[in-house]
Amino acid sequence: MELNPETVPLGSPGLVPQSFWENDCKVIYVARNAKDNLVSYYHFQQMNQALPETGSWEQYISSFLSGQVSWGSWFDHVTGWWESKAKHRILYLFYEDLKEDPAREIDRVARFLGKGLDQAVIDRIADHTSFVQMKENPMTNYSTLPTFIFNQAVSPFMRKGTVGDWKQHFTVSQSERFDEESRRRLAGTSLRFRTEL
């Protein structure tokens, strides 16, 4: 099926220039479970002064589930890239796996790129790319941007970086509704996400 760039979500395989696929470029794609992703979007959109108001938490859940957020449908995005990995050189990673065992996933990336790294180098990369290090680094935490762009008094750009923070935001009924919609939207794919470690 040929994707129409006017109807595909931002960042989906259909918006990558055709020459990218023709030249057999490699892609590293990282997906995060929908619940934690929604929480992250919510806080990011609140602090990002260029984006529209989020509305209430309940309204934002509905917007996310219907794909009416600035980045389009999470479901279309993750399934589009998941399906594309069978046809292209795509390393599909999961945020939860990166949090669980950074060294293992760094080694996977290196091998995908045709590089062999010794354990000392992998450990250094894991340290420099850890959430704690990146949260303190002005090159990655966007702390140097003026508040009229990112108002980090509302929420820091690098907020928590954990798996399972959704439990601090969702009510039981919201979680059940979200899970039901997720099952429906991911049915027919082999794509599975972990919502806790």
Helix (H, G, I), strand (E, B) or coil at 26: coil
Residue segments in the chain with a per-residue pLDDT below the cut of 70: 1-12
**pLDDT attached to residue 9:** 45
Helix (H, G, I), strand (E, B) or coil at 180: helix
Flag whether 142 is in a domain.
Answer: yes
Q: List the CATH number of the domain containing 82.
A: 3.40.50.300
Residue 35 belongs to domain spanning: 16-158
**pLDDT attached to residue 11:** 58
What pTM did the predictor assign? 0.88
Instruction: Say how far apart CA 88 and CA 46 lie, in whole Å.
Output: 36
Flag whether 173 is in a domain.
Answer: no
Write the pLDDT tens digit of every residue in 136-154: 999 998 888 888 889 888 8
Structure tokens at 59: 């309204």
Terminal Cα-to-Cα distance of the chain (whole angstroms): 36
Mean pLDDT (the chain) is: 91
**pLDDT attached to residue 50:** 87
- H or E element at residue 184: helix 172-186
Domain count, the chain: 1
Flag whether 1 is in a domain.
Answer: no
